[in-house]
Amino acid sequence: MDSFVLPPKLLTDLSSAVDTIRGHPFINVFSHFDADGITSASIIAKALTRAGKEFSVTIFPTLNDENMQIIENCGAECVIVTDLGASYIKRFDAMSCDVVVLDHHTVYDQAERICYANPHLYGIDGMVAGCGATMAFLFAITLDERNWDLSSLAIAGAVGDRQHINGMQGLNTYLLDGAVERKFVEIRPGSLIPSGDLVEEFTLSLEPFIRDVSGNPDAVKQMLSEAGIAVGKRGSDLTPDEAERLSSMVAIKLISQGVTREKFEECAHPVYYLSKLGMDAEVLSALLNAGGRSETPGIGVGAGMGDATCMEKAAEISNESRKAVMDAIVSVVGSDNLHEMGNIQWFDSSESGSTGIICSIIMCYLGNPDKPTIGFNGSEEAAHISSRSTFSQLAKGIDLAAAMKTCCTAMGGEGGGHKIAAGGSFPRDRKDEFLHALDALIASQKASKTA
């Protein structure tokens, strides 16, 4: 099979990143708290351990001015930043220590002094074809070929950032092909039916989100009985007939709730089974995401590094947070808390949190598929905003990275991310002003595309 060829400039940058860290016995690692950031940090931590280095890992919910100051004042001789950093390259350049940034977010500045690798710098789309974990992994195998086993983590990172949904692309192809060849990963056919206990999984699973069924065990049992399937069965135990009846029923429900073809195909995407870990990449990704977002994100990194106690704890946190997120979605959807404006739709999740996940589910399964979804969490003085779009909206000119940057900055805050998924923050009392500014900006993005 023709695999993806890594661009020469990327290889040069990776080698110089490896040279940069070689001379340092202790390295300060900074990363993001989502699945991609946690897998990135775990990959770096494993690679540094194997290279005989000592290190510390700090996990941030976001890189803002306050956290940037923490990095600037950490007194490190060498810093590695993963899945974060693209919007602060000038500040990293101005630091006096050695810095390696391995990010995939939109590029604003080129580095002058530090070592900065980002797919966008090599003409590769970091939104879909290489994530933080991919970059961390490429760094790890440049450091030592034996780090190929960390490809399992990197694939979980890419899945966490949803880069697999239209098939792995670009740098992720290189990662996946190599991992399959080395038997760390097996590609299995996808399904609309979860493999575990059907009542439990359909009740807690966010994907696919079935309106009036997901989150409600009685409705799940009703659906199973209509399909002639006994309560208590596991997805993996269904006969081919049962599996077919149940998937058609789920498919019909999804079509009738207006799920787009784009999303539908995405649900049936193949599954990456991580042979050495005995679980799907999506399951690992969910565990690490939950661990990373908890009060003690070290649990996520510990689990990523293979610690059994951390893994168990992460599974517990993950199940609790699945329940909480499900409740939050049901409360947003059930209470008419989703508001449509001319060009956007928005909801308030100040009570529930989990804004980003709710935003994704509403965008894909429940909201108006033609308008970007915005989540507003005003539980703190600085409100946190999440936004999600779809590929068909992007084709109409929508760019949430630019929109969030412009509108959050205009409100005295900051924002950025990817065209399809972006976030930001600003003082919470400027919510209405922000929503109107954003609605107008999205309108002008669409207009300038058609013009």
103 is an interface residue for Mn ion by CB under 5 A: no
How far apart (Å, rounded) are the C-alpha atoms in residues 353 and 391?
A: 26
131 is an interface residue for Mn ion by CB under 5 A: yes
161 is an interface residue for Mn ion by CB under 5 A: yes
Cβ 41 to Mn ion, closest distance in Å?
12
Cβ 36 to Mn ion, closest distance in Å?
3
81 is an interface residue for Mn ion by CB under 5 A: no
208 versus 356: smaller Cβ distance to Mn ion: 356
| Shortest-Cβ-distance residue relative to Mn ion | 36
Applying CB under 5 A, which part among 82-90, 299-307, 421-429, 432-440 lies near Mn ion?
82-90
Cβ 181 to Mn ion, closest distance in Å?
25
Site track 27-66 with Mn ion (rule: CB under 5 A), x = hit: ---------x------------------------------
Token look-up 């994907």 returns 207
Cβ 286 to Mn ion, closest distance in Å?
15
Residue from 24, 43, 46, 83 binding Mn ion (CB under 5 A): 83
98 is an interface residue for Mn ion by CB under 5 A: no
Applying CB under 5 A, which part among 81-89, 312-320, 357-365, 440-448 lies near Mn ion?
81-89
Cβ 82 to Mn ion, closest distance in Å?
9
Cβ 44 to Mn ion, closest distance in Å?
14
Residues that bind Mn ion (CB under 5 A): 36, 83, 131-132, 161
